Amino acid sequence: MTELSRRQFLYLSAVSPFTYELSALAAESEGNKPASSYPRTTAVLQDAFMVETLASRNYIGYTSKALSETYPNIAYLFHAFSRSEQIHAGNYKRVFATLGYEAKTLDMEIDVRDTKANLQQAARNELKKITATYPDFIKELEAEACDEAIMYCMYSWKSHQQHEGKVREIMKYSGILFGRVSSKIEGLKLDFHVCRVCGSTLDEAPRTPCTICNRSMSNYFKVERPT
C-alpha cells in the first residue's frame, strides 16, 4: 500500500494519532514548508481539514440520495450538516494558512449507500468525532498551545456535541426501526440555521448569540432546503 492510499484508508476507518506523523510527511512531500514552531499543530490542522472536507462531501452525497428516495427532511438534515462541516474545514484551512501552510485535499472517495445505511454511517461518524477524534486532536494541539488552532478545534467539537443526543438515538434505532425513525424525522418541522463563524447548527431560528463562539445572532444564516 502506498503512503497516500494508506492515509486514505486511515481516514475512512479511524483517525488515530499515527495519522499526525503521516500528515507531517504528506505536508513536506507536497511542497509545504517544513513545520518549525508548531509541527504537531500543523499536522492536526491538516488532518482536521481532511476529516471535515470528507464529511462535507459525504453529506452532499447523502443529501442527493435522500432526495432521490423521497426523504426530504433527512436530506435537509444532511445538507445542513454539510454546510456546517464546510465551515469547520474552512476554519482549519485559514488557520493553517496563517502558519504558512496550504491545506491539501488528497483524493478522498465518498461512500454513499441507501439512506438507511447513510443515516447509520453518519451517526457512527458523528459519535466517533465527539468521543475520539476531537479529544485526540485537542490533546495534541494543547501540547503546542497555538491558541487559534485550539479555539477552532473546540468550536468544531462543540458544534458536533450539539446533536449528540439525537445522534445516539438515531444510531440506536435506525437499524431495525428505520421506518419509525425516518417517519419521525420526516414529521418534524425543521428550519436549520448555521453559524458561519463556528458551524453551530440549530434546527430553529436562533434567539440568542451563538452559545459556542459567543458571536451575535447575525452570524447565523438560514440553510435553504436542497432541491
Piece in contact with Fe ion (CB under 5 A), picked from 12-20, 68-76, 87-95, 164-172 = 87-95
Q: Smaller CB distance to Fe ion: residue 88 or 104? A: 88
Residues numbered 88-127 forming contacts with Fe ion, rule: CB under 5 A: 88
Residue 179: what residue type?
G
Distance linking the first and last C-alpha atoms of the chain: 40
Residues numbered 141-170 forming contacts with Fe ion, rule: CB under 5 A: 156
Piece in contact with Fe ion (CB under 5 A), picked from 13-21, 31-39, 102-110, 207-215 = 207-215
Among 75, 200, 206, 223, binds Fe ion (CB under 5 A): 200
- Asked whether position 197 contacts Fe ion by CB under 5 A, the answer is yes
In 3D space, the residue among 79, 74, 73, 84 whose CA is nearest the CA of residue 115 turns out to be 74
35 close to 87: Cβ distance less than 8 angstroms: no
> What SS3 state is found at 60?
helix
The β-bridge partners of 221 are: 194
201 close to 159: Cβ distance less than 8 angstroms: yes
- Asked whether position 85 contacts Fe ion by CB under 5 A, the answer is yes
Sign of CA dihedral 164, 168, 169, 170: positive
Q: Smaller CB distance to Fe ion: residue 168 or 184? A: 168
Q: What residues make contact with Fe ion under the rule CB under 5 A? A: 52, 85, 88, 156, 195, 197-198, 200, 210, 212-213
